[in-house]
Amino acid sequence: MSMFIDRDPLLLTPGPLTTTLRTKQAMLHDWGSWDAAFNRMTGDVCRQLVDIAHGADTHVCVPLQGSGTFSVEAALGTLVPRNGKVLVPNNGAYCARILKILGYLGRSAVELRFAEDQPADPAAIEVALAADPSITHVAQVHCETGTGILNPLADIADAVARQGRELIVDAMSSFGAIDIDLRTTPITALVAASGKCLEGVPGMAFVIARKTALEAAAGNCHSLAMDLHDQWAYMQKTTQWRFTPPTHVVVALHSALEQYAEEGGLPARHARYAANCRALVDGMAGLGLRPFLAPAHQAPIIVTFHAPGSSSYDFQAFYQAVRARGFILYPGKLTEVDTFRVGCIGALTPLDMQKVVDAVGATLRDMKVAVGN
């Protein structure tokens, strides 16, 4: 698939992403929120999202206005009863955010800590569930974009299912690029958003929920705006969103999904991101920059690199200089290790990643930063 990218700086972030010109052009028209054509488009988008996860027989898609965090909060607030209890395996910043959300919601939570450079351990999760029968749900981040680590979702799902509990998955940075098969992986709800691996623009989150769980969730939610059951029931009755939808975001996602299918769907999207990741890691290694994660734990989504040890290195100066060369990087998310992050997703190719490496190398030379210290 050819990429038509205009001249904005390329976004090497986990979202928002660099999008194709075709996706941008889809937003040049206005749509009525009650218009039948727009509502059909919403229905098409939701069906395609469920199909990506192979969930048509068991799951439904509920879209929601807002960022991915909106849909994470909506899923927890809707699907976890007010007297429920959630186990959160925590190996990064977005796992910690789930714990923070549960605190705001007044839902009981149990944290199971893992090192930031290690995946969550299914056996430890199962032991924790067996030890506490009051736990009703597990909330698991699939790809922890604070580091780029990929947690072993299928094995975690099997462990949760053996213990008879429900699993809510934050698949924000993996959905559409790393296969999740709801036919074989027992998951109550998958949470994701428009502006990640589907290469739409930010503004629409969604939850792909098991229909039976959603039907049982009436009255659970703490919030009218984030009540997934109410949103789903209203859309089933009217085909419309309850409140003003992000119309331009929806039509951009509709276009992005067309391009996703033309590229070859999930296998092709994964292959391109994996090639981007290899080109990035290999190129940065040539500069003496080391990834934070072991290769076995690295998802092809975003790579965390150790910052240079040189006293001449300053992230803000580094960031601005790389940006001036046409690339926007991401700061590190770790509290104890100095890092920066480079995304591999979006309308980018391995050639773009080599250009990023060249820009980083030129910037470090200009800063007189000794790399590899």
What is 354-372 written as a DSSP string? HHHHHHHHHHHHHTTPPTT
Q: What are φ and ψ of residue 169, in 5° steps?
A: -115, 125
Domain ranges of the chain: 25-261, 265-366
Q: How far apart are the first and last CA of the chain?
A: 40
Per-residue confidence (pLDDT) for residue 263, from 0 to 100: 98
pLDDT < 70 stretches in the chain: 1-7, 372-373
pLDDT of residue 7: 65
**So what's the pLDDT on residue 6?**
47
Whether omega for the bond prior to residue 122 falls within 30 degrees of 0, making it cis, is: no
Q: Identity (one letter) of the amino acid at 280?
A: L
- What are 291-330's pLDDT values in tens digits? 999 999 999 999 999 999 899 999 999 999 999 999 999 9
Q: Which residues are within 8 A (CB) of 287 and not within 5 positions of it... i.e. 6 or more apart?
A: 357, 360, 361, 364, 371
What is the DSSP code (8-state) at residue 67? -
pLDDT of residue 373: 47
Question: Can you tell me the distance from the alpha carbon of 196 to that of 99, in angstroms, rounded to the nearest whole number?
Answer: 22
Q: Do domains 25-261 and 265-366 have the same CATH topology?
A: no
Cα–Cα distance, 94 to 96 (Å, whole number): 5
Specify the DSSP element, H or E, that contains 303.
strand 302-306
CATH topology of domain 25-261: Aspartate Aminotransferase; domain 2 (3.40.640)
| CATH code for the domain defined by 265-366 | 3.90.1150.10
pLDDT value at residue 261: 98
Residue matched to tokens 């809510």: 168
CA distance 145 to 333: 9
Displacement of CA 8 from its chain's centroid (Å): 23
State the angle between helix axes of 93-105 and 68-79 in degrees (0 to 180), rounded to the nearest 10: 50
Per-residue pLDDT at 333 = 82
